[in-house]
Amino acid sequence: MSLPVGDRPRRPEWMRVRAPSADSLYGDVRRLLHGQHLHTVCEEAHCPNVGECWGRGTAAFQILGDTCTRACRYCNVHSGKPEGPPDPDEPRRLAETAAQMKLGHIVVTSVDRDDLPDRGAAQFAATIRALKELLPGASVEVLTPDFAGYEEEALALVLAEQPEVFNHNIETVRRLHRRMRGAKASYDGSLRLLAQAKEVAADPVASKSGLMVGLGETNEEIAETLGDLRRHGVEIVTIGQYLQPTPKHAPIERWVHPEEFRSFGDLGRELGFRSVFSAPLVRSSYRAEEQLGG
């Protein structure tokens, strides 16, 4: 049961973020991305770290448009019926932009595209291919949807292009999964996808997942989810505080203290994750290049 609006805790000091610095790269990155007509999850999801990340000259690209066919209760990305097929020129523009930004590690995610026969897998593959051709020394991380109904074929298409990291977010604990993600998503389906990625990849690929806290889960359920991810071969995990994008989205049930995040990180390392990023402002693509090294 959600807390009444008047009883919900106020945003604590540790969740405050600084505005972009005037002498940072923020403005240059924004102009470049908009000039190339590219979407980023930084903007579409209203990530609290956009000022920091763009100020350092990094960004997480979002392919397949700005309209998602799902309507998860925690996500600010626009939901509806996408217009038209994937943009065939998007992979080239994205790769050229990443090269201009001189990125050494590129994160590519997408909206869900249940309207497409391949759920958008071919666009992921084309994007990885374009990045590998133009930036052969860079590493590529894909943060994919669940490809519901097309999982095996989608994984084969995407992983044939040899991304260094395969990421799919579990998002929340088992008890809350259906309520937050809807009937199309599946907690066990997400776990299977992560395990299958390790089996399908011809070359070693690091597997990664992330979850939000503050949606009403217990610490015991967080521990259970971490255990489930580790048993399904996940090596890198991120844990961050859920932020309610608008009053229409799921409410924040609690602000998780930084000390609790540290305990989640300790537990993750005890379970054998090679890298655990656990802090209030952590997001799946936040400092993603550092996550690779633990």
Q: What is the pLDDT of residues 21-73, one digit of tens each?
A: 666 789 999 999 999 999 999 998 889 889 889 988 999 999 999 999 999 99
φ, ψ of residue 180 to 5 degrees: the values are -85, -30
Q: Which of 214, 213, 211, 256 is nearest to 230 (CA)?
A: 211
**Bridge partner list, 171:** 211
* Segment 205-239, tens digit of pLDDT: 999 999 999 999 999 999 999 999 999 999 999 99
Domain over 24-291 is classified CATH 3.30.70.980: no
Helix 187-200 crosses helix 174-181 at what angle (to 10 degrees)? 100
- Domain locations in the chain? 24-291
Q: What is the pTM of this model?
A: 0.93
CA 126 to chain CA centroid, nearest Å: 19
* Segment 126-149, tens digit of pLDDT: 999 999 999 999 999 999 999 999
C-beta of residue 70 within 8 angstroms of C-beta of residue 114:
yes
C-beta of residue 135 within 8 angstroms of C-beta of residue 90:
no
CA distance 180 to 242: 12
Structure token digits, residue 33:
């991305």
| 291: Cβ contacts below 8 Å, ≥ 6 apart | 208, 236, 238, 275, 277
Structure token digits, residue 158:
């995407």
